[in-house]
Structure 1
Amino acid sequence: MTQDKLFSLIQYPLPHHLISRLSGLVADSRAAWFKDPFIKWFIRRYGVDMSQAQEPDPTAYNCFNDFFTRALRDDARPIGDGMVSPADGFLSQFGDVEHGTLIQAKGQRYSVTSLLGGDTRRANPFRQGSFATVYLSPKDYHRVHMPVTGTLREMTYVPGRLFSVNLATADQVPRLFARNERLVCIFDTEFGPLAMVLVGAMIVAAIETVWAGQITPRSKHIQTTRFDKPITLAKGAEMGRFKLGSTVILCFGQNVDFRNDLGIDDSPVSMGQTLGDLSR
């Protein structure tokens, strides 16, 4: 049995939500004797580049969560042309949605319907479109931004497990992204519909959006909020953030002309980096 397989099996019986909520309490601690050494250790352990942060002093943050969701300098992430990456991280998969299914990893697929909360009405516009999956590692900038300009139509909280999300578990846990707790945000854009899915994971204490604040945890039931008053966010504008890291999945209602030089699994991307082009 491989180490990755053993790691994934160990997670099944764990109390995912309890572990994550306790981690959230620790990450919110404002005790300087705890949070300052912890933040400095985290920077050393994961090689975090603090020179790009608006506040480079690790001790200036009120708690670990404030450090983890830190803002960057205004010039740190220029916004490219076309459709851009919503976050820093690794482009783990991308391509066409084939017969309503997305690639999770080699030999692993899951349906767009299950990803978007089991509603066929919500999923149908994306069944023949394109997708991109960006995994945020611990060292990355953890705010999520718009890949194109969009107007928010609805937001759906989907309860679920909180398996650890990384390249190894994506290989080992079937339907990982459709099983974990997640937030599905549907936008209307000049290129058609866009779904942005923020996937929770082990020790992710919460997901936040700029229009509703902290979202998770909310309920054990799927909850959908529809927006009658327009909430329009420009390309490159912040739309949400993770309190500890996870994954963002983009689904488009049409095919994306992805750049030819993009790779998968080990291909680092930066927020604002051009991933491809969309046609009207």
Structure 2
Amino acid sequence: MSIQYFLPQRLSSWCIRKLTRIRTVWFKNLFIRVFSKLYAINWAESKYRSPDDFKTFNEFFTRQLESGARPVAESPLVSPADGKIAACGQLENTRFVKAKGHDFTVESLIADPELAKDFSDGSFATVYLSPADYHRVHMPVKGKLLRTIHVPGKLYSVSLKTAAQIPTLFAENERYVCVFETEYGKMILILVGAINVSSIATVWGGDVTPPYGRVIDYQIYDRDIELDKGAEMGRFNMGSTAIVLLEKNDSVVLNDLLKEGTAIKMGETLYKFCNLETESL
């Protein structure tokens, strides 16, 4: 049995939230320097390159990159974040198959059985962000926000090791489901909470407030919120996971070079066109 079942998830996350927002200069600078050395942070790609440029450790953790640090590929859909592929593949009806940490259905993941039907036999890709990664999340493709679903839940670690130990991990953790209309059909981008992820934020709403108790929060957006491919859509205040779901589409397919454990950067090819003739257009 995983130790994750016994950790004080909420208390630990609350403490990390407080710790990462301390403004005492000597403390936050030391925190940043130690973390940077421990995780070999690449300061050369950061827009701001000194601990003194950040008011808190969290500002450093969610730091903005230098312009051009993440070129956006011309492929139809690109990775929403830096990290490693935890799993990717085709859905069998609405069930995730042959993927560690994905022993569940789309219905249980997004808490909407009717919407889940639209993704029958579609595809998915899960990107795990380690503490060392860039922690802003971007749009895989241009899309218009239709609705969001905030599902309360656990705060298990989302490391690849934990995902292998808890098959229903992502359907148990707190998650923020964002539904977009795109030129390739409906796309869902899910920000998954985890232990010590002190909050999730979006560009249209700021910090996402957890639903009260076990109540699922459904929101429909009737105002135009449209984000371009590669545009920032949110960020994790500490590390976590982003999941992309795409309706079945005959014109695009998952990048066949992506396997479990493959490192990927935001903006790199996640989906490609189904044939070279189409891809060259």
Q: TM over 0.5, yes or no?
A: yes
Please, what TM-score do these two structures have when normalized by structure 1?
A: 0.93
Aligned residue number for residue 119 of structure 2: 126
Residue of 79, 101, 114 corresponding to 1:85: 79
Residue of 235, 238, 241 corresponding to 1:241: 235
Aligned residue number for residue 263 of structure 1: 259
Q: How does 1:23-102 map to 2 (within 5 A)?
A: 23-81=16-74, 82-102=76-96
When residues 156 and 208 of structure 1 are mapped into structure 2, their CA distance, relative to the original with a 3 A threshold, is same
SS at match of 1:248: strand
Is 2:207 aligned against 1:214? Answer: yes
CA displacement at 1:161 relative to structure 2: 0.3
When residues 231 and 278 of structure 1 are mapped into structure 2, their CA distance, relative to the original with a 3 A threshold, is farther
Confirm or deny: 8 A CA contact 2:80 2:139 kept in the other structure: yes
When residues 107 and 137 of structure 1 are mapped into structure 2, their CA distance, relative to the original with a 3 A threshold, is closer
Please, what TM-score do these two structures have when normalized by structure 2?
A: 0.92
Q: How does 1:116-195 map to 2 (within 5 A)?
A: 116-117=110-111, 119-195=112-188
Residue type at the aligned position of 1:70: R
Q: Deviations over 1:187-241 (max 9, x none)?
A: 0011100000000001000000000000033422100111001100000000000
CA displacement at 1:278 relative to structure 2: 5.4
Stretches of structure 1 that go unaligned for 5 or more consecutive residues are none
Confirm or deny: 8 A CA contact 2:145 2:181 kept in the other structure: yes
Residue of 256, 268, 276 corresponding to 2:271: 276
Rounded to whole Å, the distance in 2 between the matches of 1:245 and 1:123 is 27
Rounded to whole Å, the distance in 2 between the matches of 1:224 and 1:150 is 19
When residues 71 and 109 of structure 1 are mapped into structure 2, their CA distance, relative to the original with a 3 A threshold, is same
CA displacement at 1:106 relative to structure 2: 4.2
Confirm or deny: 8 A CA contact 2:84 2:128 kept in the other structure: yes
When residues 161 and 259 of structure 1 are mapped into structure 2, their CA distance, relative to the original with a 3 A threshold, is same
When residues 47 and 191 of structure 1 are mapped into structure 2, their CA distance, relative to the original with a 3 A threshold, is same
SS at match of 1:126: coil
Stretches of structure 2 that go unaligned for 5 or more consecutive residues are none
Confirm or deny: 8 A CA contact 2:39 2:132 kept in the other structure: yes
Is 2:194 aligned against 1:201? Answer: yes
Residue type at the aligned position of 1:271: M
SS at match of 1:28: coil
Q: Deviations over 1:50-72 (max 9, x none)?
A: 11000011221100110010000
Aligned residue number for residue 250 of structure 1: 244
Residue type at the aligned position of 1:24: R
Residue of 110, 115, 120 corresponding to 2:109: 115
SS at match of 1:96: strand
Segments ≥4 residues shifted beyond 4 Å = none
Q: Deviations over 1:91-133 (max 9, x none)?
A: 111111112112474485211111102x111211112100000
Residue type at the aligned position of 1:54: K
Confirm or deny: 8 A CA contact 1:129 1:251 kept in the other structure: yes
Residue type at the aligned position of 1:96: Q
Residue type at the aligned position of 1:216: T
Confirm or deny: 8 A CA contact 1:53 1:70 kept in the other structure: yes
RMSD: 1.6
Confirm or deny: 8 A CA contact 2:140 2:229 kept in the other structure: yes
Confirm or deny: 8 A CA contact 1:104 1:170 kept in the other structure: no
Q: Deviations over 1:126-157 (max 9, x none)?
A: 12100000000111100000000000000111
When residues 216 and 165 of structure 1 are mapped into structure 2, their CA distance, relative to the original with a 3 A threshold, is farther
Residue type at the aligned position of 1:261: L
Q: Which moved more, 1:238-247 or 1:120-129?
A: 120-129
Q: Which moved more, 1:211-220 or 1:83-92?
A: 211-220
Rounded to whole Å, the distance in 1 between the matches of 2:180 and 2:237 is 23
